[in-house]
Amino acid sequence: MSRPFSRRRFLQQSGTAAATAAVLHGVHTMVRADRPLAANDEIVVGLIGCGGMGRANLRDFLRVAGVKVGALCDVDSTHIENAEQDVAKRRAQQNAKVEKYTTHKDFRELLDKKDIDCVIVATPDHWHALPTIYACMAGKDVYCEKPISHNIVEGRMMVNAVKKYKRVCQIGTQQRSGAHFQRAIELVQKGAIGEVYMTRTWNLSNEHPDGIGNPPDDNPPPYVDYDMWLGPAPKRPFNRNRFHYTWRWFFDYAAGMVGDWNVHLQDIIHLAMGTFHPVAVHASGGKFALRDNRDTPDTMEVTYEFVRPDGKPFVQVYTMRKYCVNHSQWSPGHAMQFLGSDGVLNLNRSGFEIVPEVRREGKKVVQRTEPIKSGGSDQHFPHVVNFIECVRSRQKPISDIETMHFTTTACHLANISLRVGRKIYWDPKTERCFKDPEHKVPDAEANRWLAREYRKPWELPKIELDQSA
């Protein structure tokens, strides 16, 4: 079997449509994980991106019986060393020997390895699509971090790759695996707070006035392959803020706060309300308050219009401020809120509560539902366990890539509306923006933001599905 992702071969092939087609066809290496595995079969994982979340993921993967690390990859060798220390510490806690694994600066070498069953993609958002797609083509299953993509077209290609190569793919929206989130969703759906026509989510913090500051451009550290860190993003001088962790506040690499955090919150709203597709999206805001070099907003209000499967409308409002935490209606920081005719359900990672609606009906004061309070529940470890179980059983994981593509899309649409300065109408069938609710007039200006051109030699593979299959 040839090695489809060797660096040399990739470089020879990249850059032409014909080459991309050559990469796409005939590379699906059958691995043992194409068939169900026994519960005690070993699963070998490769980590791509050994930063904050990559290491958090790896630590939980190594708690699952039968999971072994086979390779660690990062463009920053100090981050690989950090992950190596995590592996040693975890195995010492378990009184177990450290397994044999390899280290890499180029993820294509990791994907070339036949012993790797699945990969964790925990790179910055602009580096989710290619490792995920190539991993699928190489016959690996994928645990990819949220938000799934840098833009909507990338997300669709990722979904197509998972389907075409029949891979198991879990997205890192671990709230879906939290028992108290599941119970809150069930309560909303069973009518515990009556009829719901409005939901709210928010992210509030105070970084006023300096935010992440304004460091000067500099040389990249010698232990980093900066060109590989940039990958398909535009070439820029190295700047500390446009790098580890704070990259999320720059549109070249991410979608700002609405993509970074609201993707978790908005996802629970979608699940509870039974639809992932906004009909219309209108965002206001901008970078008003912070004197730093980020280019994503520090102030934002997004109004989403939805229609539920039963035809009832609702409005979802996302509020984001980075200069003022006060005056939130419930938990400061982040939360979700379902506003019902019989009560309000407030929800975050620490728990939820139902606050009943109390109103005068004639001479009586009527409380329309029962108050309920719940603590939080573990989310991340059960999410990892769900993925490993699905790798074994070949079932769809709880945060499947297609519904997470829809939730990520809703977040990207907020930024698109902000950029064009108006309400946009979304057609989930064609995944295009329109100027009217009937989808007669395409919104060319908005549709410009659905994809972006990759910096060469990187190219987004065009993956079409055989509709008859």
Ligand X SMILES: NC(=O)c1ccc[n+]([C@@H]2O[C@H](COP(=O)([O-])OP(=O)(O)OC[C@H]3O[C@@H](n4cnc5c(N)ncnc54)[C@H](O)[C@@H]3O)[C@@H](O)[C@H]2O)c1
Interface residues with ligand X (CB under 6 A) are 48-54, 73-76, 79, 107, 122-125, 127, 145-146, 172, 174, 228-229, 231, 244-245, 260
| Cβ 316 vs Cβ 266: under 8 Å | yes
- Give Dmax (Cα) for the chain: 82
Nearer to ligand X, 174 or 266 (CB): 174
Considering the complex, what minimum distance in angstroms separates the CB of residue 75 from ligand X? 5
Q: Which residue is nearest to ligand X (CB)?
A: 51
Instruction: Give Cα 112 to chain centroid, integer Å.
Output: 25
Q: How far is the CB of 210 from ligand X (least distance, A)?
A: 21
Residue of 93, 89, 140, 75 whose CA lies nearest to 112: 140
Taking the complex as a whole, the smallest distance from the CB of residue 175 to ligand X amounts, in Å, to: 8
Nearer to ligand X, 250 or 434 (CB): 250
CB of 300: closest distance to ligand X in angstroms?
Answer: 18
CB of 76 or CB of 443, closer to ligand X: 76
Question: Which residue, 147 or 211, is less far from ligand X as judged by CB?
Answer: 147
Instruction: Give the residue with the Cβ less far from ligand X, 153 or 257.
Output: 257
Least distance between ligand X and beta carbon 362 (Å): 49
Output the smallest distance, CB 392 to ligand X, in A.
22
CB atoms within 10 A of CB 440: 9
- Say which residues have a Cβ less than 8 Å from residue 377's Cβ, sequence separation at least 6: 178, 179, 180, 181
Nearer to ligand X by Cβ, of 72 and 424: the residue is: 72
**Is the Cβ–Cβ distance between 253 and 292 less than 8 Å?**
no
CB nearer ligand X, residue 130 or residue 418: 130
> Could you give the CA distance from residue 381 to residue 243 in angstroms, rounded to a whole number?
28
Minimum CB distance to ligand X, residue 158 (Å): 13
